[in-house]
Structure 1
Amino acid sequence: MSLYDGGLAGVYPEEEDDRLADLAGDSDYDDDEYVQSISKASEDTSAMDVLKGKDIQGIPWERLTITRDGYRKSRLEGYTNFENIPNSGQLSEKVCTPVEKGQLYYEFAHNTRSVRPTIFHFQLRNLVWATTRHDVYLMSHMSVLHWSPLTSEKHEVIDLQGHVAPCEKHEGNFYEGFYRTHVSTLAVKNNLLVAGGFHGELICKFLDREGISYCSKSTHDDNGITNCLEIFEKPSGSVHFLASNNDCGLRDFDMEKFQMCNNFHFDWAVNHTSLSPDGKIIAVVGDNPDGVLVDANSGKMIHELSGHLDYSFASAWNPDGRTFATGNQDKTCRIWDARNLSKSVAVLGGNMGAIRSIRYTSDGKFLAMAEAADFIHIFDVGSGYDRKQELDFFGEIAGISFSPDTEALFVSVHDRNYSSLLQFSRRRFYSYLDSAL
């Protein structure tokens, strides 16, 4: 993973700063007319508003000097995908699997600008999690927020602006705590929330308890940014989480004993990991075109994953336990079958940027892959990934999350003027005969 001097909020390479400024409402619209339009725009957009012609993000295109189609065209032509290996995106286009577009699996439901999602590192985009369709957790500046789509209310879960320290006594707890922690990645599952920082900080909070339960430094390496976190349960029922770091380490923390129980080392920075549903295999990707499958208990390599042309930052297992996906800066997501890893079974291409987040629905029927900005692709797994829906908006994508019941998809959007949380609802098809059964 790229690490720039300072490694903190808003730190991008110079060309990345220019590109991030070129969002809807920025360089093309930076005039008095645009600013005035923003002040008049309502905070929320509902499905009913969209039926009446309102933009899903509330962008007042009718008041601007460019159309939405015109701006989309300029974005596609002018967007520069960040690559660690030159021309990886262009070369990968030749091997992408043909896909039928135009499907509708998730419908727009609501957009709120009451919460303002934030990205602290341009390559890390796992900053929103839904624990139910009514409970969403996300990063907003120096706060971890909870948002309720049901009540349209938000509250602060952790204030990271000042001092954060544990209030429980556990062996190995870092009682001094941390000051002004810049969160690089987040994970929330059931009642546990874990936030990872730029200097290896780990902050663990049980949502049904007051205060912070556990603080730790996963590494003291100068290059120890926390790239990814995954919470899981062992067969015994104990709660664990995996922490992937830029110091080439992958660590397993036991939250029953509040201690690290495994520390695996690789030859390259570990950007993302995913644990198989049976808890036996970890898919590991990072600053290497090839990923690996490793044994979850020993860390020994099971098989190499060859095919991507750049560094990978996303992975996910299908709940079926047989297939999994990896997302790469070569603008593709590759689908793998664990029973035959000689090559990927499908290569799913994006439109303009790196694939930085991947999520399966809990029933395994859909896969969502998010580009760095503007596009999310939802694939029908049952069709062999041959059909997809495309979500099209403007802004950097801070994260995506399906609700556990699969009924909702949340998209966290970071933009200078239109930061928001987009909500989509699963489209259901009920026939007369179905309702009679």
Structure 2
Amino acid sequence: MAQFQNHELEYMVDDYYDMTDFDDNPIEDTESQRNGVDESSNSDIEDDFDKSKPKTDTSALEARNGKDIQGIPWERLNFTRDKYRETRLKEYKNYENLSRSREELEKECKQVEKGHNFYDFQFNTRLVKSTIVHFQLRNLLWATSKHDVYLMQNYSVMHWSSLLRRGKEVLNVAKPIMPTLKCPGSLGQTLSRVQISTMAVKDNLMVAGGFQGELICKYLCQSGVAFSTKITTDENAITNAVDIYRNPNGSMRVMTANNDAQIRVFDAGNFACLGRFSFPWSVNNTSVSPDGKLMAVLGDSPECLIADAQSGKVVGNLKGHLDYSFASAWHPDGRILATGNQDTTCRLWDIRNLSESVAVLKGRMGAIRAIRFTSDGRFMAMAEAADFVHIFDTWSDYAKAQEIDLFGEIAGISFSPDTEALFVGVADRTYGSVLEFNRRHYNRYLDSII
């Protein structure tokens, strides 16, 4: 993965989000910040109305009555939403590390029936506002229930309650972080001013990776940080991905993927490093299968790998993508692995036959940077770097889809564990927010009663 440099990305139209948006006092109690607006920065969509007025959230009722779900006042702008979308699709430039012909790729892509509605818009809030550190890493939002969402906002990990509609800071990584867990031989270190590049939350444990190779582990039910350290001193050492999983014996583990071409495994109890696996290229993403036996390894190569999660031994090669990959997710049954790539596609692989992908799903305009399955396996969501989230019905063999059309860089997506909600983090300087969608249910038995 490319090391982030502002001067290299200054004119990039694609996945760019400027690190200068980071505020040394991210939770300062100002009117603009309470309403999720940074008045010192600009948006892709500028409006000329009075910015001193409070920005309101958007409810499902308001959306049904014609209000834009992100609160963008199209009626006050010099162009319509449709016109801006048309222009955006024409001018958007997808970031590529490898420039290769996409002609044959288009022929491979599955024909999908769009226009379905599996999840309905419920609420959009700007009281919390997603932010991004690295333009290629978009795993910065996690839902632990249909009412609880964790996301990055500048130097703060925020908790958003969709029930109370209230945000609260859980962790401030600008301040010194001192690990509270004391174990013999522990590699814990005090950290400060960490720029969170990736995160995961599961079973009361929050794990975050940093731009300089940091690892932070916090139990949500306890104050302070249990463990923090720099897991590598390599100059190009970004922690690109973290995963929380249980091994075949049921023990909880933390896995990290770094730009130093290594994957590391930590015990989630005492955070001792249990293993270190090296690969030929920077590892951009890793995810462990539901049974804890296999791991997907994706990085600075068109080829993806399947490896034994205990030994790190490569047991399969996945060939078909044309660029670097940054996203992966396992279907809950453990048979299907989905991989997202900068070639604008998501490939589905049957773990029982890795000779070729079983399906290729195409994005609308950009790289696939995040993928999630619902816990029941019914739906799969994939997020592009900006503007589009696609939800596929796995029961239709991924042939039916819903397209969520919005504006702004996507910081992360997450289904709630009960599958009832889908949350999307948008990292825009003016319209940055968290959007909530609720699962649509068809109660056909009521029709028979009527």
Which TM-score band (shorter chain)?
over 0.9
Residue pairs, 1:25-64, within 5 angstroms: 30=46, 34-36=47-49, 38-40=51-53, 42-64=55-77
Partner residue of 1:324 out of 337, 340, 347: 337
Aligned to 2:28: none
- Tell me by how many angstroms 1:216 deviates: 2.0
- Tell me by how many angstroms 1:29 deviates: 5.0
Aligned to 1:160: 173
| Counterparts of 1:19 and 1:219, CA distance in 2 | 26
Letter paired with 1:188: V
| Counterparts of 2:53 and 2:403, CA distance in 1 | 29
Letter paired with 1:251: R
Partner residue of 1:335 out of 331, 348, 352: 348
Residue pairs, 1:28-427, within 5 angstroms: 30=46, 34-36=47-49, 38-40=51-53, 42-87=55-100, 92-427=105-440
Equivalent residues of 2:17, 2:132 under 8 A apart = no
- Greater Cα shift, 163-172 or 179-188: 163-172
Equivalent residues of 1:365, 1:381 under 8 A apart = yes
Give the match's secondary structure for 2:12.
helix
Cα pair distance change 1:214/1:88, threshold 3 Å: farther
Cα pair distance change 1:40/1:270, threshold 3 Å: same
Query: TM-score, normalising length from structure 2?
Result: 0.91
- Tell me by how many angstroms 1:395 deviates: 0.2
Give the match's secondary structure for 1:362.
coil
Cα pair distance change 1:161/1:26, threshold 3 Å: closer
Q: Deviations over 1:367-415 (max 9, x none)?
A: 0000000000000111111110000000000000000000000000001
Letter paired with 1:252: V
In structure 2, runs of 5+ residues without a counterpart are: 19-40
- Tell me by how many angstroms 1:209 deviates: 1.1
Give the match's secondary structure for 1:93.
helix
| Counterparts of 2:436 and 2:7, CA distance in 1 | 28
In structure 1, runs of 5+ residues without a counterpart are: none
| Counterparts of 1:287 and 1:103, CA distance in 2 | 35
Letter paired with 2:111: P
Cα pair distance change 1:175/1:309, threshold 3 Å: closer
Q: Deviations over 1:105-136 (max 9, x none)?
A: 00000000000110000000000000111110
Cα pair distance change 1:236/1:29, threshold 3 Å: closer
| Counterparts of 1:194 and 1:428, CA distance in 2 | 33
- Tell me by how many angstroms 1:203 deviates: 0.7
Aligned to 1:15: 11
- Tell me by how many angstroms 1:42 deviates: 3.4
Cα pair distance change 1:65/1:203, threshold 3 Å: same
| Counterparts of 1:92 and 1:273, CA distance in 2 | 24
| Counterparts of 1:401 and 1:171, CA distance in 2 | 36
Q: Deviations over 1:64-84 (max 9, x none)?
A: 110000000010000000000
| Counterparts of 2:45 and 2:256, CA distance in 1 | 41
Equivalent residues of 1:85, 1:309 under 8 A apart = yes
Letter paired with 2:429: R
Cα pair distance change 1:369/1:210, threshold 3 Å: same
Query: TM-score, normalising length from structure 1?
Result: 0.93
Q: Does 1:4 align with 2:12?
A: no
| Counterparts of 2:371 and 2:101, CA distance in 1 | 19
| Counterparts of 2:282 and 2:101, CA distance in 1 | 19
- Greater Cα shift, 214-223 or 382-391: 214-223
Give the match's secondary structure for 1:48.
helix
How many correspondences in the alignment?
427
Equivalent residues of 1:19, 1:79 under 8 A apart = no
| Counterparts of 2:103 and 2:212, CA distance in 1 | 34
| Counterparts of 2:256 and 2:343, CA distance in 1 | 24
- Tell me by how many angstroms 1:199 deviates: 1.5
